[in-house]
A and B are shown apart, each in its own frame.
Chain A
């Protein structure tokens, strides 16, 4: 059975997370990824203040300009400054992916912890549910939900906030399954161990056991999964925007900028490079960090 197969793989998670952290800068690739990520975060965080050009000001006389002194990354078809759009769009793209990661981690931790701790029919039922979610066609379903519920969400919560919450919930709500299985498998194997049974014998409450004995020992793989989930969420959001179903056109997420750019491949190819590279470098850095963390926190994993 596929479910059992992956859970035996996941049950190889270490009992005690490795304590040695200072390997960051010893691996040049990891150091590079960390630097790139920090630079992107800095640029997106402080950029709009340091580069006070309006990302929305339309100027048709300046449309589709190649990169120049006044517009370092050129302008789009409406004459809007691409660098300003990239910086503002990065905030939204990164906010969506971090929030979606938080959603998927909370759901995954919750479901996995309950299933692994209580076992029996609760476990069986929750794992059926997890299997069902795994069998759902992800991207088509995301497209469908955002398309159908986008308009009402917009009306209820405002054009930007509504679609933000919707996208975060849909992406997060379809990506918690691997974490749930990871946590469940960890809990199931930890429950058999003497230190947990000793805690039970000493009269520790279920919540104390989960908090002090079980959760800390599955955190390693969960941190790895969380890191990789950010990259996945960023890709999912960009894909959605690229298909024209994400944020409204005046909100320049990186995927949306690529969607707009694909109509001007001949006249303005520079429009593709900046947002595409931004997505690529961010996802690559996040994945590299996740891989490094996996080596550090999951010694059994290669």
Chain B
């Protein structure tokens, strides 16, 4: 087949034509010196066994398909959440190309970030000149209101001193003396992107608050944490707070910069926490974090300034949202309005309508520790069983907390949390102890292919489905979205499994 101009086919169909298939077979047979097919089959079967699982879990050094990224990614995520702020990552430039691509692929948005482009000479002599020139260039070109500095592992290994470097750059006139340049050391070999989120946000808060007097007011601060749904979630949280009449400051509000209109103008900066609000946030009566494990140091720092701090674990579901709203209400003294109570009722109604399809279903979940906790809690609320919950960047404390959640209801009875494990471990879990559905990010599609477990895409990054980041997963409405995504997959699977005429289609029901 060559192309037909009236029906041009791309890779999806082109390579299925006989000419290409024959070519592939010929290449393999004559040139690849591949293993025999039966050997491949036999090995593939072996990798599904309990024996393989045990060998796989004995791994001590190798990581395969981890579900985590490195610190500076989280730092960039935070930085773009402030008004007119450009993230500046000190170190090798390739890293910045990666963060920008990564975010653009998830949000389908521009992602602006600069690098100090350190090379071999900087590895030897340090990156001071890169900082001096870099800050000067960035400030001149992109006219930011703030430059938020973080580091790649290169700068960390050679021990560059950000505080000293930035001071020197100021003295050299790279930026005006009073121009805000908060910074955070974000070594990639410690923690993950959520650690970087924490360090960067603490760096910014520290920049504005350190040495300042606090005059308490009635406002609250809100921190979302590293969140692939930040666009939808932060807007939903604002809507909820507005309904309650709560006065608030969202710290690191990147919901606008990653959802700019296509109206003929490129906005390098859009929305974000104003610098004035960031400064004034010291006066708030309390700070709420939606993701405990993403904000540990930041919250400790804030608590040190006399504020009450309350951290959740990515609350999804009725009870988790109830708890969130009641805490907001308690802290602010604002009652939960009827409008939200009604939303709650609608959500409960939806769950009642659909729970028969979810009850007793087995799930595997992976992702950031807070996300895993929130989703597992919601599934248990639906009567489902989160059998395998895996977080590559989760730690011992998370594992214990997950176990306590499992122990809190019968649906958690046979469930396990796996901290520090990767998706190749998950493959063994799914092969040896199969579940009905898998919840995870885009990379879960390889697990879906290998183990036949249908994937529900919730997490970060999601590269291969569009626009889900525009929807919230928090609040009663966000929970409703989550419920619908789970249900859609369940129903799709039912249809898929009952679709062969004269064979399986007696259950191909029109009403479910």
Same complex origin of A and B: no
What is the interface of chain A, defined by CB distance below 8 A to chain B? Answer: none
